[in-house]
Structure formats: C-alpha cells, structure tokens
C-alpha cells in the first residue's frame, strides 16, 4: 500500500531540513511543533497534494521526532503509519501504532505523538465542515458538541475498501487530467466511509422524525415571527451545533439564520400590508410587533426588498 500513496511526482522536500519541512506542514496540513534529538543530522522528506477540500501528505523526518499541538481546531487528521512505530498520548491514554494502523485525531484533541527514527506516515487533513455537510446530506443528527471519533486503533486491513479508496484518491490527485467535480465526488465518499467505518458520536436517526429537520426549524420560525428569535433557540430546535445550524441554512436557504428570520419578518409584514382585510392600524405598530425597533432601518430594508416604502404599500391598500 505504501508505494501507491503519493509517488515522487508529489515530492516537495527530499532529504531536507526537518524544521523547513515542519514549517511547510504548518502552512498546509496543520499547526504543530516538533522536537528532534540534539545529536545527528536527520533529513526529512515530504510529498504533498491538494485534493478538493483535503490535503494529502506523506512525510518522514529521518529521526526520532515528537510532534505536539494544543488542538487542530477546525480540522481532523487521519494518519496511517507506513513504516516504523508511533506512540500517542491523549487525555491520559497511551496507544502504540505499527505499520498498517490508522489514527484519527479530533479537532479538540491535544496532539502528543512520538515517532521512531524510521517512521513514515501518510496524513489526510479533513475540514470539520466536510463531515458536518455529509451528515446534513444524509439527514443524520449532528451532536451539539461536534462530531467526535473514538480513540480506538484501527487496522487498515479490517476497514473494508478503505485502503483501495486512499490509493484511488492519491492516483486521482496526481493525474494530470483530474477534474474538480471528480475530486469532490471522492471527498464525499471518504467522509461517508469514515463516518460509517469508525466509531463516532453521530446518530444515524433521521432528524425529521424527532423534529430536528430544516423544515421543523422553519416551522418554529414561522410560529414565532413576532418574537425575538435567538440563535440559541434554533440550535435547541435543530439539535445541532451553532456551526452546523449555519451550514444547514446555507445549504437550504443560501443565507444565514438571522438573515432568513429578518427576510421572513419583512415578507410577513408585506403580506399583511397588502391585505385590506388584515386589521393593521399603522406601519409603526406592525413593525414594532415584529421586533423592528429602529423604524428608519426597517423602512429602508423594506424598500430594498419590495421596491417601495411600507407606508406606500399601506396607503395603497387601505
């Protein structure tokens, strides 16, 4: 397997200063610090490819190295040990990895990894948004605390089809004719495979059956348009994290939750002002009823949306 995960065509460094390689990794793969032995002259090598929203990296430092980071924050690291061995220390637990085993580091996990001098590893950097969007596409329930994978060790040979998938992705990344659409297709597959193969806290229950769908959030907004609807309330209704809530609205409405609420309030007011049978005593009253406390800003937002001032709509239909 190791001979097909990024070939020499993807080489960026060969027999180079490990700290120069580390700086490149900081820029493209994930923030970290390295600690090398004080003696000797280790030479590092690195192959790298960008692949849609992923970064693929094959790296060896040429000497025993300790890699630390407080947390990766917005990304996950999938690491496959190709040669040597690795010791991982995280949250009081210690694991030892040998070639062919896989480690997945969560965004909020502190990183403390010690690699042997002969170690070589393959890394896939995956953004948080990739897994969240995959869950949304499958209509799985997202945990409010974020998606977390278990710290269990995984043997690549036991993960059905995953080794072949990594090989195909690397081949596609190095292909001269690789198309963005094809890359995006592979990226969605790898996210789905990881969520399906590795232990995690994602509930694969259809959220609409328990009231967590986009439609249910929209229904909640419709029923409370005359109230001040906060993001916290929508997070509770959707049962997702705030970041996932924004992703949900971006996917279904193309705008943020706050903009959607504001838009729906304006549309409700517009409909009521158009309806002669609706008992509206004044524009000021209906604006205040829907939470628009700054009447000048309300009038301007209404004009941009409907091409006339709310007072003009009101007078024309009374």
The string of pLDDT tens digits covering residues 104-162 is 999 999 999 999 999 999 999 999 989 988 887 777 777 778 899 987 789 998 898 89
Tell me the Cα Rg of the chain. Answer: 26
Work out the mean pLDDT of the chain and round it to a whole number.
Answer: 90
Intrachain domains 8-197 and 214-317 with the same fold: no
With a cut of 50, which residues of the chain have pLDDT below it? 207-211
Q: How far apart are CA 160 and CA 196, in angstroms?
A: 10
Using DSSP bridges, classify how beta strands 154-155 and 101-105 pair: parallel, antiparallel or unpaired. Answer: antiparallel
Contacts of 188 (CB under 8 A, 6+ apart): 134, 137
Bridge partners, residue 56, by sequence? 49, 124
**Residue 132 burial class via C-beta count within 10 angstroms: exposed 0-12, middle 13-18, buried 19 and up:** buried
Q: Euclidean distance between the first and final Cα of the chain, in Å?
A: 76
CATH superfamily of 8-197: Regulatory protein AraC (2.60.120.280)
Q: Does domain 214-317 have CATH number 1.10.10.60?
A: yes
Name the β-bridge partners of 154: 102
Q: What is the pTM of this model?
A: 0.67
CA neighbor of 48 nearest in space, from 64, 27, 33, 31: 27
pLDDT of residue 208: 45
In whole angstroms, what separates CA 207 from the centre of its chain? 19
Name the nearest CA neighbour of 117 among 63, 153, 73, 54.
63
Handedness of CA 176, 177, 181, 187 (dihedral sign): negative
Count of CB atoms within 10 A of residue 266's CB?
20
H helix and E strand count, the chain: 11, 12
* pLDDT recorded at residue 35: 95
Distance CA 129, CA 127 (A): 5
Alpha helices in 76-179 (DSSP H): 128-138, 162-174
- Give the full edge-to-edge strand order of the sheet including 120-127: 11-16, 44-51, 54-60, 120-127, 75-83, 101-105, 154-155
Q: Is the dihedral of CA 63, 68, 73, 79 positive or negative?
A: positive
Give pLDDT, residue 33: 96
Specify the DSSP element, H or E, that contains 96. Answer: strand 93-97
Q: Residue 209: its pLDDT value, please?
A: 41
Give the per-residue pLDDT at 243: 87
Identify whether the C-beta of residue 91 lies closer than 8 Å to the C-beta of residue 110: yes
Residue ranges per structural domain of the chain = 8-197, 214-317
Q: Are 202 and 195 in contact (CB under 8 A)?
A: yes
């Amino acid at each position: 397997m190791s001979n097909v995960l990024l070939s020499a065509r993807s080489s960026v460094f060969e027999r180079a200063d490990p700290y120069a390689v580390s700086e490149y990794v900081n820029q493209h793969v994930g923030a970290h610090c390295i600690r090398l032995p004080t003696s000797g002259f280790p030479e590092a090598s690195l192959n790298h490819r960008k692949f849609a929203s992923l970064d693929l990296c094959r790296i060896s430092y040429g000497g025993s190295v300790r890699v630390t980071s407080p947390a990766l924050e917005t990304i996950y690291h999938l690491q496959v040990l190709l040669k040597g061995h690795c010791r991982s220390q995280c949250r009081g637990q210690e694991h030892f990895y040998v070639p062919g085993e896989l480690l997945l580091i969560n965004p909020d996990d502190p990183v403390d990894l010690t690699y042997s001098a002969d170690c070589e590893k393959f890394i896939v950097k995956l953004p948080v948004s990739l897994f969240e969007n995959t869950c949304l596409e499958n209509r799985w329930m997202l945990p409010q605390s974020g998606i977390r994978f278990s710290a269990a060790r995984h043997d690549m040979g036991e993960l059905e089809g995953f080794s072949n998938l990594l090989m195909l992705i690397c081949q596609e990344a190095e292909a001269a004719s690789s198309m963005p659409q094809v890359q995006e297709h592979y990226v969605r597959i790898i996210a789905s495979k990881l969520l399906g193969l590795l232990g995690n806290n994602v509930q694969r229950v259809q959220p609409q059956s328990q009231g967590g769908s986009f439609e249910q959030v929209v229904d909640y907004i419709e029923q409370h348009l005359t109230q001040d609807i906060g993001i916290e309330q929508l997070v509770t209704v959707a049962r997702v994290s705030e970041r996932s809530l924004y992703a949900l609205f971006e996917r279904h409405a193309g705008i943020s939750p706050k903009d959607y609420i504001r838009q729906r309030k304006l549309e409700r007011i517009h409909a009521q002002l158009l309806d002669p049978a609706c008992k509206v005593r004044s524009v000021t009253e209906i604006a205040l009823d829907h939470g628009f406390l700054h009447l000048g800003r309300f009038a301007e937002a209404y004009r941009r949306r409907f091409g006339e001032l709310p007072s003009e709509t009101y007078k024309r239909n009374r």
